[in-house]
Every structure is written in C-alpha cells, then in structure tokens.
Amino acid sequence: MDSSNPPTFSIRCYCSAVSLKAEAAPSSVVDCHCGQCRRLSGAAFTTWASFPRTAIATTGDEPLRSFAVTANVTRYSCRVCGSHVFTADVRLPTILGVPAGALEGAALSPPSVHYFVDHKAPWQTICDGQPQFGGESGMTPSAASCADPGDT
Ligand SMILES: [Zn+2]
Ligand SMILES: [Zn+2]
C-alpha cells in the first residue's frame, strides 16, 4: 500500500459535534460479542476497527467525555449526544479502538473474526463463516454454532 496516501475515515458521533479524522487503514476489524460491548452499543455486538493512535487527530476542542471502565480501559463519547467514538487501553498503547458504526469515508474491510461468542446475545446467530473464538477469555477457538439450513 502507498503509505503516502492512506485511506481517510471520519469518526462521527450521532449529533456531529464530534468529528475526528482517522488517516490509516485499520490494523484489524473484529466483531466482539462480550457483554460490555453489547451494553456499550445497545446492539447485539460491537464491530471494532483498530487504528494506530497516531492516525487519529484530535484538536482538544471536541466535546469528549471519558469514562474509565477499568484501570486499563477508557471509553470516550460525545458529551452532547453520548455516542461512543473511541476506546483507549493502556495495555495497547499504540492503537485506539473505534466502533465501526461511527466511521464514514473510506470503505472498511469486513470483520475477519468473532470474539466472545459464548457471551453472544441469545437472539444472535453467527453464520458468516469467519473464525469464532469464545470461552471465558473470549479468545479460545470455538466451533461455529451456525446451523446449516441444508442439514435439517
Ligand atoms: Zn454527538
Ligand atoms: Zn467486547
């Protein structure tokens, strides 16, 4: 890839008070089915895009509110509308996790993996053929639970 011309995304909250530029290809795009991600999004799961921290420009003037979920993880949201716009983890100091639903601009690669599938919402069926990981860690290889409609 031509590093002088990275894809450009914007990370925009629901009310548009927060609009951040992210100039890089995400290093990963994953679906996380853990309970935190479900509550955070209000949806069945969160699709996360990981960006190099240096690729996301903040001016310091954005109306951001931070919430320290744990000693390691801090989530940032719009102070006006409450949309989650990115998460920082001190254990992963070079990246920021961005909820993919907040992204627009360049085309995002589809998610390549599912994590925490044993914690997924009971109404969710994962049938896209991508690798699945579960167990207590959320990262143990897990057999896909998708029933093949042709098997009945
Ligand atoms: Zn907002
Ligand atoms: Zn999660």
Report pLDDT digits (tens) over 74-118. 999 999 999 999 999 999 999 999 999 999 999 999 999 999 999
Q: How confident is the model at residue 144 (pLDDT cuts 50, 70, 90)?
A: confident
* Pairwise pLDDT comparison (149 vs 60), residue with the higher score: 60
Distance 113 CA to ligand 2 centre (A): 12
pLDDT value, residue 143: 84
pLDDT computed for residue 55 by the predictor: 96
Ligand 2 center–CA 5 separation, angstroms? 31
Q: Name the nearest CA neighbour of 9 among 115, 96, 130.
A: 96
Q: How far is the CA of 93 from the centre of ligand 1 (A)?
A: 25
- The number of angstroms, rounded, from the C-alpha of 140 to the middle of its chain's C-alpha atoms is 19
Residue-level pLDDT at 146: 72
Model confidence at 69, pLDDT cuts 50, 70, 90, reads very high
Cβ(63)–Cβ(79) under 8 Å? yes
Please give the distance, rounded to the nearest whole angstrom, from the Cα atom of residue 65 to the centre of ligand 1.
11
3-class secondary-structure state, position 1: coil
Instruction: Give the predicted TM-score (pTM) of the model.
Output: 0.90
Residue 65 contacts by C-beta under 8 Å, 6 or more apart in sequence?
Answer: 76, 77, 78, 79
